[in-house]
Amino acid sequence: MRGGFQAETAVLRQGSMSTERGKIMQENLSYEKLSKRALNCMYTAGAATGAAVLAVIGAVDYFWVFPGNITVGKWISLILAVLTLIDVLVSPYFRYHRYRYSINEECIDIIEGYLFVKRNIVPVERIHKIQTKKGPVDQMFRVAKVIVTTGGGDVTLSFLEDERAEQIADNLRKRINEIVSEQRMQSEQALTGSRE
């Protein structure tokens, strides 16, 4: 019984040391920006999405189903079309300049957003799965996404150059394997210590 308590204490102590190391490592983060390929990809993807939205607005405007007041519908369509065009032209610029990421031995930190800035910090030891992904537009510009899955959900490093995405995925896999090996050794030591 006493050995089980010592093992739990060792695990708790290791967890608090990991938290302290994480705080120290987060203070020394250096953020990386995206390449120009990412900006071109953002504009192309935004233009394709904008074209689809404008087609829907045009179809609704052409086949206006509420004939009581057609003028109001035309104004609404015009306002939506202008807002869509502004979004297609402005959104990629701000998303590109705000997007930052940092990866160290302890965590992945991603800052992104357009109107609302979002920050995701993922401890490396919580990662369950790593996946790289490329869509058709991504392939045109030779960029890729690294999708990191944790118990709490997915976090995506987007618009990375192909080589960089593969490098990040490989480094994270190696780090996860190191963490698993360390945890196995610690649990084996705790078990052998509890038997004595």
Residue 58 has pLDDT above 90, yes or no: no
Q: How do residues 71-87 score in pLDDT, each as one tens digit?
A: 777 788 889 999 999 99
What pTM, to 2 d.p., does this model score?
A: 0.73
For 57-94, b where at least 16 C-beta lie within 10 A, e where not — what string? beeebeebeeeeeeeebeeebeebbeebeebbeebbee
For 112-139, b where at least 16 C-beta lie within 10 A, e where not — what string? bebeeeeebebebbebeebebeeeebbe
Closest CA to 120 of 160, 148, 145, 159: 148
Identify which has the larger pLDDT, 40 or 187: 40
CA 126/CA 33 separation, integer angstroms: 24
CA 93/CA 195 separation, integer angstroms: 61
- Which of 3-7, 19-23, 104-108, 191-195 has the weakest average pLDDT? 3-7
Q: What is the pLDDT of residue 188?
A: 83
**Tell me: domain 2-32+104-195, CATH 3.30.1480, correct?**
no
